[in-house]
A and B are shown apart, each in its own frame.
Chain A
């Protein structure tokens, strides 16, 4: 079974530029999560989708971050404009049922550096 796919793996941008990350969850997984992990910290949930609806986006900085999950499968997370403090690893995860906190499967992450 293929795991959660993310691209790109690495991205370097200047502050005030825009960037987008892509995630393809495990086939058949209803729930998709985006996390932000700053160096030395644990992951912080940004947004949670069940199928193509948003379950929780309370920690998403909506003035600059946006996310969508079209057709309840792939998802994109966008930052516009980026700030220095957005430098982090962005992790995508999926789970079979949802919203549920039974096993989440994580992708390898996208490491973003904002200069």
Chain B
């Protein structure tokens, strides 16, 4: 079964706008990771945030983690056409396995 649930399922934005997606999970975690998947390709690791961290940045990406609410958010600033992809959160619940959500499909319009 999938632990993480992303919201929204799909998101369409104009180039240059920010995109925000959320991930909720059910059990306590060691870390939470975000991955990107372009159409027809494998997943690419974006960022990992540990349970004792609240916020991390990587380039145009900002991830927050609220363990009290069992939720995380991924913000992509100043979106580009190349950001069009599906974004997945994945949780490690301490059993050294990753459990992926169903993903958010982001479309960036030119």
A: which residues have CB within 8 A of B? 4, 40-45, 48, 55-56, 91, 93, 98-109
**Provided the pairs A42-B2, A42-B103 are in contact, do residues A103 and B42 lie with their beta carbons within 8 angstroms?**
no
When distances are taken between beta carbons in the complex, the residues of chain B under 8 Å from A105 are 45
Extra pairs beyond A91-B43, A106-B35, A106-B43 (4, CB < 8 Å):
A42-B88, A44-B2, A44-B100, A104-B45
CA distance A4 to B41 in the complex (A): 12
Q: How many residues belonging to B are interface residues under a CB distance threshold of 8 Å?
A: 25
Q: Is the CB of A101 within 8 A of B43?
A: no
Q: Top 5 nearest A-B pairs by Cβ distance?
A: A42-B100, A106-B42, A99-B96, A101-B92, A106-B43
CA distance A99 to B100 in the complex (A): 17
CA distance A41 to B86 in the complex (A): 10
CA distance A106 to B41 in the complex (A): 9
When distances are taken between beta carbons in the complex, the residues of chain B under 8 Å from A99 are 96
For this complex, 29 residue pairs linking A to B, each with C-beta atoms less than 8 Å apart, are: A4-B42, A41-B102, A42-B4, A42-B100, A42-B101, A42-B102, A43-B88, A45-B98, A45-B99, A55-B96, A56-B95, A56-B96, A56-B97, A91-B43, A93-B42, A98-B96, A99-B96, A101-B30, A101-B33, A101-B90, A101-B96, A101-B97, A104-B45, A104-B98, A105-B45, A106-B42, A106-B43, A108-B41, A109-B41
CA distance A35 to B45 in the complex (A): 15
CA distance A44 to B40 in the complex (A): 17
**Provided the pairs A40-B102, A105-B45 are in contact, do residues A45 and B97 lie with their beta carbons within 8 angstroms?**
yes
CA distance A59 to B52 in the complex (A): 29
A35 to chain B, nearest CB (A): 8
B65 to chain A, nearest CB (A): 15
